[in-house]
Amino acid sequence: MANVLRNSAKFGFSGVLSQLSIHSRHGRECVSPCFSLQQRNNSTSPKIKVDLDNSTGVAVLRMQSPPVNSLSLDFLTEFCINLEKLEMDKSCRGLIITSVSTHTHTHTDTDTVTQSHKTMIHTITPPVCVVSQTLSKVSSTGLDIITLPVCVCVCVCLVSQTLSKVFSAGLDIMEMYGKSPERCGEFWKAVQEMWLKLYGSNMATIAAINGSSPAGGCLMSIGCDYRIMADNPRYSIGLNETQLGIVAPFWFKDTLVNTVGNRAAELSLELGLLYSAPDALKIGLVDQLVPEDQVLSTAQDTMSKWLAVPDHARQITKSMMRKQTIDKLLSNREADITNFVSFITKDSIQRSLRMYLEMLKSRKA
Ligand SMILES: CCCCC/C=C\CCCC/C=C/C(=O)SCCNC(=O)CCNC(=O)[C@H](O)C(C)(C)COP(=O)(O)OP(=O)(O)OC[C@H]1O[C@@H](n2cnc3c(N)ncnc32)[C@H](O)[C@@H]1OP(=O)(O)O
């Protein structure tokens, strides 16, 4: 654990703050007034909202990065900053990780809002000037000209963008597709950092899984001490990397083995299985199923049981269980980054990723 904390110190606040996103994948701007507003609301960053209840010592970290809480470099950086802050806050003993179902984003100055199926104008706060316009836009193929209705809002307006029913869609595939080796290396280092901080956390951690949680989303869940999942037939969870033509790294595999045992992990990884909530419960991938509207309250009740155990005893025991797995990555970090970069930049892997992305989009169409 100490190793983990020492290591994370390298990723100090000033360094990570300077990496904070200015643009999300969806081209939305996060300007500094938005950040300060979030701070007043006890949130520490735009893609993640954290509420620490000082009376219980329990923090709830809500992922709010539409459309699917994918783990981009920006997202991972913010996640690590938040974890680091909570870890250093002696009043925080427990952490619940979940996804919000609605994301509120603040825009300032002149802003263009495109009304798509995932975006709607939620509130417009006066003083505001709304001008209806027609926007001509060249599609990504460069062939079609499409016309979209837009509203141009001057001054301040609040926009609400709905998240899919996901906990997290895992690593942001766009971070692995068509990127330079340097950028891939930077991204992979952030993925490692997220796992090291979470798996090695001194806090008691509970994943309140209120949506689908494939691949990296599953890694985040099994990085916690306990998992409560919504009993919803639409949701699934698992390390499905092989289905994308990619391979789960050894520390993903080790975390899964530590959670469900060797045989279930072997089947699960080789076949790239995504489990329904009841099947995930059966193999021990999650610990408890509850109706969707009770996921967070159950996590809070469960957390009080975890916090009834004296911290030092729980932490030393956790370290004893996880240290070997953590140390294995710590002593192979650079080699793991090199492996990832050379694997992911291969033409054949890039082709697999492209086909997978196309499949995701065509499925929607
Ligand atoms: C031998 C040595 C090995 C060394 C190491 C090497 C290898 C690397 C290992 C890498 C490990 C990788 C881990 C990962 O996490 S990979 C990501 C895996 N994730 C998935 O497979 C999930 C894909 N997504 C879905 O299944 C669904 O989107 C959903 C999460 C179930 C939600 O479904 P739904 O509500 O219907 O939403 P849509 O499918 O319509 O998606 C909305 C938009 O979001 C885009 N999307 C979805 N997932 C991702 C993602 N992971 N990254 C980026 N973008 C994503 C989707 O395309 C839609 O975009 P659009 O609106 O622009 O069309």
Q: Which atom of ligand 1 is nearest to the CA of 173?
A: 52
Nearest protein Cα to ligand 1, atom 52: 172
SS3 241: helix
Cβ–Cβ < 8 Å for 285, 253: no
| The pLDDT value given to residue 158 | 37
* For ligand 1, mutation pick of 28, 63, 68, 163 (most atoms within 8 Å of CB): 68
* φ, ψ of residue 39 in degrees (nearest 5): -65, -40
Which pair of tokens denotes residue 360?
Answer: 């995701």
**pLDDT at residue 163, rounded to an integer:** 73
Q: Which of 147, 141, 116, 134 has the alpha carbon at shortest distance from 28? A: 116
Q: Strand 213-214 relative to strand 157-162: parallel, antiparallel, unpaired?
A: unpaired
Q: Is 353 in the pocket of ligand 1 (CB under 6 A)?
A: no
Q: Tell the residue nearest (CA) to atom 10 of ligand 1.
A: 248
pLDDT in tens, 52-103: 999 999 999 999 999 999 999 999 999 999 999 999 999 999 999 999 965 4
pLDDT, residue 41, reads: 36
CA of 176 to the centre of ligand 1 (A): 11
- The secondary structure of residue 292, as a DSSP letter, is G
- CA 89 to centroid of ligand 1, rounded, Å: 33
Q: Pick the atom of ligand 1 nearest to 363's CA.
A: 39
249 lines ligand 1 (CB under 6 A): yes
Tokens encoding 121: 């104008």
**Ligand 1 centroid from CA 292, angstroms:** 22
- Taking only the tens place, the pLDDT of each residue in 102-123 is 544 433 333 333 333 333 223 2
CA separation, residue 297 to residues 62, 92, 110, 205 (Å) = 14, 18, 40, 15
* 221 Cβ closer than 6 Å to some ligand 1 atom: no
Query: Pairing between strand 119-123 and 157-162?
Result: antiparallel
Q: What's the rounded Cα separation, in Å, for the pair 198 and 128?
A: 43
Strand 213-214 versus strand 236-238 pairing type: parallel
Q: Say if ligand 1 is within 6 A of residue 164 CB.
A: yes
Locate the ligand 1 atom nearest the alpha carbon of residue 364 and give its number: 40
Q: Cα–Cα distances in Å, from 44 out to 36, 191, 235, 236, 300?
A: 9, 20, 28, 29, 21
Residues β-bridged to residue 97:
61, 207
pLDDT of the residue at 45: 76
Number of neighbouring beta carbons within 10 Å of residue 359:
12
Contacts of 328 (CB under 8 A, 6+ apart): 250, 251, 254
Complex-level ipTM: 0.97
Residue 230 in contact with ligand 1 by CB distance below 6 A? no
Q: Annotated active-site positions, please?
A: 171, 216, 240-241
- pTM recorded for the entire structure: 0.79
Contact between 281 and 63 (Cβ < 8 Å): no
What is the residue whose two structure tokens read 């869940």?
Answer: 221
* pLDDT computed for residue 18 by the predictor: 29
Is 185 a pocket residue for ligand 1 (Cβ < 6 Å)? no
- Is any ligand 1 atom within 6 A of the Cβ of residue 245? no
Q: Splitting the chain (365 residues) into consecutive groups of 10 residues, what average pLDDT does each group show?
A: 37 29 28 31 77 97 97 98 97 97 42 32 29 30 33 35 84 97 98 98 98 98 99 98 94 98 98 98 98 98 98 98 98 98 96 93 80
